[in-house]
Amino acid sequence: MNWKTLDFEQLTARELYLILRARSAVFVVEQSHVHLDPDGRDETGTHVFAAEDMSRSMPVLAYARIHASDADDPEVVVDKILTSPLRRGDGTAHALIERVLAVVAERWPGRGVRLTAPVSLRGFYEAFGFRKTEGPFLEHGMPYIGLTRKSRQPREAHGAGRAQFTPGENATTYELL
């Protein structure tokens, strides 16, 4: 599995196509959420993904998009989080979130992380230090919650080492949908 962290302008046309294909397969087809997935935020996002054999039709195994909010908002937003049905239950989702948190700590030191997730994944995200901050509310016909993770390092420590969190032995892991 090959992990990449790329800004929009660094993505090749094939990578972008395969990311959008994976997002449609999970969010539109699997979860029956009919929507326009290319929402205008891809150009300003950082894209974290794992792929295998880019010549295959569905090589993206895990994906998340990261957005730095403006200076008035101390949190970075993570959305479009997915794992391929082929990689659920094998630790890929865990590896994805670890990578996302490492990217946030490196690029935006001192900032917290915010995301929304199905209620059933609360334990998964809490294992990484996220805490429920809103909800539950209905999104796409499913109950969702908002979760936030406080920064593990002070904002002034720009360029300092990466913040890491190791979930406890009793952490419950759920699969990403």
Does pLDDT of 167 surpass 50?
Answer: no
- Alpha-carbon distances, residue 2 vs 101, 102, 120, 126 (angstroms): 18, 16, 28, 26
According to the model, what pLDDT value does residue 103 have? Answer: 97
Asked if 112 and 150 touch (Cβ cutoff 8 Å), the reply is yes
Does pLDDT of 37 surpass 70?
Answer: yes
Does pLDDT of 164 surpass 70?
Answer: no
pLDDT range class, residue 173, cuts 50, 70, 90: very low
Q: Which two tokens stand for residue 53?
A: 């054999």
pLDDT range class, residue 136, cuts 50, 70, 90: very high
The pTM is what? Answer: 0.82
First to last CA, the chain: 20
Burial 26-59 (b: 16+ CB within 10 A, else e): bbeeeeeeeeebeeeebeebbbbbbbeeeeeeeb
According to the model, what pLDDT value does residue 157 have? Answer: 41
Q: What is the mean pLDDT of residues 1-14?
A: 96
The superfamily in CATH containing domain 2-113 is Gcn5-related N-acetyltransferase (GNAT) (3.40.630.30)
Does pLDDT of 177 surpass 50?
Answer: no
The highest-confidence range among 71-75, 84-88, 130-134, by mean pLDDT, is 130-134
Torsion 151-82-125-79 (CA) sign = positive
Percent of the chain topping pLDDT 90: 66
pLDDT range class, residue 160, cuts 50, 70, 90: very low
Angle, alpha carbons 98-37-144 (nearest 5°): 60
Does pLDDT of 166 surpass 70?
Answer: no
pLDDT range class, residue 9, cuts 50, 70, 90: very high
